[in-house]
Amino acid sequence: MTAATISGVIPLPYRVAGRREDTADTVTLELDRDGEGLPEFGPGQFAMLTAYGIGEVPISVSGSRGTRLIHTIRAVGAVTRALCATRSGDVIGVRGPFGTRWDVGAAAGHDVLVVAGGIGLAPLRPVVECLLADRRAYGHVAVLIGARRPGELLYPGDLRRWAAHVRVDVIVDRAEPGWRGRVGLVTGLIPAAGVDAGRAVAYVCGPEVMMRATARALVDRGVQAERVWLSLERAMRCGAGWCGHCQLGPLLICRDGPVVGYPVAEPLLTVREL
């Protein structure tokens, strides 16, 4: 049995090859596999990461480099705290890839809006890298980022690099000493993004209240609902649509999502997770 065939069932051991502390509670891990690795992950897909002896959680891929997987993890529970505490050389389990992808290629020839709230920038990071890798294929590109505080902004080096090629605007809920940027909600950045709403494709990820408000604001400004894509999150356990823990209306988010179109997501965003 090859690694590819067991990738959805049995975690493969990956070694922590790189670790960067992004914020006080968020870490980016680079993971290498000795031997045959998992199939290639697409933008928007996720892996089930195992902290051996503690548990398993779904984490979106925030990048890749060859066969190396990159995941950005916020410590919010026992498993994610254990994953964030790993050091270079430690081994964690990985299953995947799971879920639907951001269809970046479908935006070719269009203006593009990437709108992220908080750690929602992590699954959108591969989208921006795909846009930059074939920059001439797209029209005007704007990356709009919201965070609670300046100290919680992810990937400041990436933001500077991206800003050389596309528009990057940042806003925070609460300023801190020395902050000279904008304060408010990420939806406040949309009017000045510079995209032609009638020919724009939007990719949105963040807290559900933020995605609900952002998608509504985009549609109100003339972006076609069918061109607005969101990433939904629920309590995913198996990753393959077997256990039903992530059911949301007619969808099993681990299988039918997390990336879905706004016409599908809109009626579901009012359903509170149990």
CA dist 94 and 15 (Å) reads 10
> Would the pTM of this model clear 0.85, i.e. be above it?
yes
CA 71 to chain centre: 10
Res 271: pLDDT: 66
Same domain flag for 180 and 259: yes
Structure tokens at 130: 């795909």
End-to-end distance of the chain based on CA atoms, in angstroms?
37
Bind-site residues for [2Fe-2S] cluster? 238, 243, 246, 254
CA-based torsion, 102, 60, 142, 206: positive or negative: positive
| CATH number (domain holding residue 62) | 2.40.30.10
Q: Which residues are annotated as a binding site?
A: 238, 243, 246, 254
Question: Does residue 93 sit in the same domain as residue 188?
Answer: no
Examine the domain organization and report whether 213 and 93 are in the same domain: no
195: CATH: 3.40.50.80
Q: Over the chain (274 residues), what is each successive 10-residue block's mean pLDDT?
A: 60 96 97 89 96 96 91 97 97 95 96 97 98 97 97 96 98 94 97 96 96 97 97 85 86 90 90 58
C-alpha 74/C-alpha 21 separation (Å) is 10
Domain shared by 50 and 125, yes or no = no
**Domain termination residue (choose one: 40, 68, 98):** 98
- How confident is the model at residue 66, as a pLDDT? 82
Q: Is residue 123 part of a domain?
A: yes
Tally of domains in the chain: 2
Confidence (pLDDT) at 2: 52
> Are the CB atoms for 99 and 258 separated by under 8 Å?
yes
CA distance 120 to 143: 12
Asked if residue 67 lies in contact with residue 111, where contact means CB atoms within 8 angstroms, the answer is no
Domain boundary among 78, 98, 118: 98
3 in a domain, yes or no? no
Q: Does residue 124 share a domain with residue 256?
A: yes
Does 172 reside within a domain? yes
| Structural domain harbouring 165 | 105-269
Sign of CA dihedral 12, 16, 21, 22: negative
